[in-house]
């Protein structure tokens, strides 16, 4: 049981960084090795092949972006509106940002890989299943609940992809107002 010099987790962290920055095509084993200051020799000790790493990256992303995120919002309790506002805060937070960029990369990736698409469907469905009861707390009409959940998700997914300038307003201000409009 010697100490692991470059453990599995290091490769996954480096992989997530590459995935966030350049999409799955940018997850190059030799480049990850270089960024970790080693050669690829050790990579094949931990992983079967490149695909195995990509699978694990998806797993890590799903866990952090669904399980952990929901857990963090739920932990502090409060009513539905409070939770939704906290979710908004979380999405804008510095530390979640890099994972959010993984999220965007995965969405694009899913357009050309069936297995990734299936995974994304599961993730998005889980998010919706979390959102719906929250909106039901203050919104009676079920169609309206669905629309608001969808709008929240669209803002979450769409806004980082959008490059507009809002004149004197900041992006944050515009999105905050958009959220309040949905509550």
Partner DNA sequence: GCGTATCTATACGGTAGAGTACGGACACGC
Partner DNA sequence: GCGTGTCCGTACTCTACCGTATAGATACGC
The footprint of a second copy (CB under 8 A) covers: 21-23, 25-26, 101, 104-105, 107-108, 110-112, 117, 120-121, 123-125, 127-128, 143-144, 146-147, 150-151, 153-159, 161-167, 169, 174-175, 177-178, 181
CA distance 61 to 8: 15
Handedness of CA 62, 66, 67, 72 (dihedral sign): positive
CA 84, distance to chain mean position in Å, is: 17
Considering CB distances under 5 to 8 angstroms, the limit depending on partner class, which of a second copy, DNA, none binds residue 21? a second copy
Choosing from 16, 19, 23, 31, the residue that interacts with DNA (CB under 7 A) is: 31
CA distance 68 to 32: 26
Comparison of 46 and 107: residue with beta carbon closer to a second copy: 107
Comparison of 3 and 163: residue with beta carbon closer to a second copy: 163
First CA to last CA across the chain, in angstroms? Answer: 54
């Amino acid at each position: 049981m010697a100490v692991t010099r470059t453990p599995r987790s290091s490769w996954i962290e480096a992989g997530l960084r590459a995935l966030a920055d350049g999409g799955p095509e940018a997850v190059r084993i030799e480049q990850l090795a270089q960024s970790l200051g080693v050669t690829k020799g050790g990579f094949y000790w931990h992983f079967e092949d490149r695909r195995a790493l990509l699978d694990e990256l998806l797993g890590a992303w799903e866990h952090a972006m669904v399980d952990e995120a929901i857990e963090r919002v739920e932990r502090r309790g409060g009513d539905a509106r409070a939770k939704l506002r906290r979710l908004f805060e979380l999405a804008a937070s510095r530390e979640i940002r890099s994972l959010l960029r993984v999220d965007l990369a995965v969405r694009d990736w899913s357009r050309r890989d069936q297995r990734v698409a299936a995974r994304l469907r599961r993730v998005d469905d889980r998010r919706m299943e979390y959102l719906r009861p929250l909106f039901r707390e203050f919104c009676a009409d079920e169609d309206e609940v669905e629309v608001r959940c969808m709008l929240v998700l669209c803002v979450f997914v769409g806004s980082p992809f959008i490059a507009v300038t809002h004149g004197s307003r900041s992006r944050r201000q515009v999105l905050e107002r958009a959220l309040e409009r949905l509550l």
